[in-house]
Amino acid sequence: MTPIAPHITAYLRERLPLERGASPHTCDSYAHTFRLLFDFAASRFKVTPSKLQMEQLDAPLVMDFLVDLESTRGNSAKTRNARLAAIKSFMRYLEHREPALLEQSLRIQAIPSKKTDTALISFLSPSEMEAVLNSPDVNTRIGIRDRAMLHVGFAAGLRVSELTGLLLSNVTLQPTPTVCVIGKGRKQRALPLWKQAAADLRAWMAVRGDLAVPELFVNARDQAITRSGFAFVLKQHVQAAAEKCPGLKDKRVSPHVLRHTCAMVLFRATGDLRKVSLWLGHEQMQTTEIYLRADPMEKIEAIEGVTPMRLKRGRFSVPDQLIASLQGRP
């Protein structure tokens, strides 16, 4: 029998962060997947998670775990697929460390992902985005921080983990205001800021103070702001902005919606998906194509470019038998 603990520890502490360069967010997500899996298996075999053996995590158990995610926990097919991807990655890692588990690994890797619906992305209109950015009270330190944080997140199209992970050392204000972002897969990209976003960032850096933490954005206790902290700040300002912009009341504005909004602004300004892809840090152009599907202007231009067919006009004539039946005639 093969104990799980040494392998999962090496995978989460060495393989993911050091060898694959996974972000802390990815490592946390994978760790949560295995915590759920081990709790499920421990309940199934009536043992503590520390007593589980790798041979017990076979394909049937993994499939039952995936069913439980959707039926009991209410997870979506997309979340289910993400959990499965984490498990498959771990099993591929084990193939070289424990060759005896090869067949078990192959069976698990053969479990198919579920097809998911490709929904249109949600993004804000220019007036809605402007209302959100104007919501913070820039006469206060927290308000100045919020304006800068919202504006940089939107203008640079950052993932929430990229925004909260920005360091002071990642910011260059001269000669061109730029932020250096470390994205997925530890890939770096430098993003210039437009004039107003740079002005808001300068205002925040002027009142931020000399703090012990290296992160650019901090909370009220001068500690690095968290993902949930930023989500809370955004929610507050969306609610305030909705008073002046009623269209926001029916919208669920998550941190990722700011990223989508930036992408739509860039795409409509340039019409070039390649530039949008580079700006967002996408590895594949297919990922960026969601913004092409979301833009109604692309469809309108396509319709306007179609030459209408010349169709002969006709007139519907009611059959005599139908008229006779309605009038009660034989």
Q: Catalytic positions, please? A: 159, 184, 256, 259, 282, 291
Q: By C-alpha distance, which of 223, 225, 247, 248 is closest to 236? A: 248
Cα–Cα distances in angstroms (integers) from residue 241 to residues 134, 229, 246, 259, in the given order: 8, 19, 8, 18
Cα–Cα distances in angstroms (integers) from residue 228 to residues 160, 166, 231, in the given order: 9, 15, 5
Provide the total of helices (H) and of strands (E) in the chain, helices listed first: 16, 3
Query: HSE on the CB side for 111, CA within 13 Å?
Result: 26
Q: What does the DSSP 8-state code read for residue 53?
A: B
Task: Provide long-range contacts, Cβ within 8 A and 24+ apart, for 99-106.
Answer: 100/2, 101/2, 101/54, 101/55, 104/54, 104/55, 104/57, 104/58, 104/59
Q: CA–CA separation, 270 vs 198, rounded Å?
A: 21
Tell me the backbone φ, ψ of residue 179, rounded to 5 degrees: -120, 135
Q: By C-alpha distance, which of 9, 3, 26 is closest to 186? A: 26
Tell me the backbone φ, ψ of residue 279, rounded to 5 degrees: -65, -40
Q: What does the DSSP 8-state code read for residue 217?
A: S
DSSP for 116-172 reads ---PPPP---HHHHHHHHT-S-TTSHHHHHHHHHHHHHHHTT--HHHHHT-BGGGEE
Tokens standing for 5?
């603990």
